[in-house]
A and B are shown apart, each in its own frame.
Chain A
Amino acid sequence: AQTIHQWPVAEIKAVGSPLSLGCTIKGKSSPNLYWYWQATGGTLQQLFYSITVGQVESVVQLNLSASRPKDDQFILSTEKLLLSHSGFYLCAWSRTGANTEVFFGKGTRLTVV
């Protein structure tokens, strides 16, 4: 069975500090990977997706970056956090091909102070 693990579960960070959120998928090779962000009370927005190692596509510009250093790992980061980065970050994966389900991790709650 496939599992998706996000870390950390929650984080409180200062404005201007760096951030790194991680996501690992086990039990599935070559998954499509996604990062989503949801501001408190806001709409869930797709930030990035990756079809293969080393390739990441940006969907929404939020002064964040993403990388896929390994087939099963997806990293979301920034060197300088903004207050507007606060929210709930979700990692997700899907199989390749059309009409495939997207499975989500449990998320990371980020509070920027």
Chain B
Amino acid sequence: QQKVQQSPESLTVSEGAMASLNCTFSDRSSDNFRWYRQHSGKGLEVLVSIFSDGEKEEGSFTAHLNRASLHVFLHIREPQPSDSALYLCAVSHDTNAYKVIFGKGTHLHVLP
């Protein structure tokens, strides 16, 4: 059974400082990785998807995947207070892309 863990649980950064979030997974054959953001009481907003080792950039969000080390990172460049939210990592395998496992999330707080 795939396990997805995120760290840290909570992260506080100052406005404009880079924020880095970590997601580890247990199944090295996984090949679908997504980062989502959830503002309090709201639905999920997809930030960036990555399907192969390396980096993928979407605006101020960059995902970095290293399947050998079982890590996928999210870097947020110059975060704003409006970026304060719960960030969720989602992992699935292409053979059953319909089953998605989420991590517990990282609460990001961006101070003005």
Residues of A at the B interface (CB closer than 8 Å) are: 32, 34, 42-46, 49, 51, 57, 59, 88, 90, 92, 98-107, 109
Query: Is the CB–CB distance between B46 and A103 below 8 Å?
Result: yes
CB distance from B95 to the nearest CB of A (A): 9
Q: When chains A and B are docked, how far (Å) is the Cα of A100 from the Cα of B41? A: 25
Which residue in chain B gives the minimum CB-CB distance to A48?
B98
List 5 additional contacts besides A34-B98, A104-B36; criterion CB under 8 Å.
A42-B104, A43-B102, A51-B98, A102-B46, A106-B43
Residues of B at the A interface (CB closer than 8 Å) are: 32, 34, 36, 41-46, 49, 51, 88, 90, 94, 97-105
Contacts known (A99-B32, A99-B94); A109 close to B43, Cβ less than 8 A: no
Contacts of B99 in A (CB 8 A): 46, 49, 59
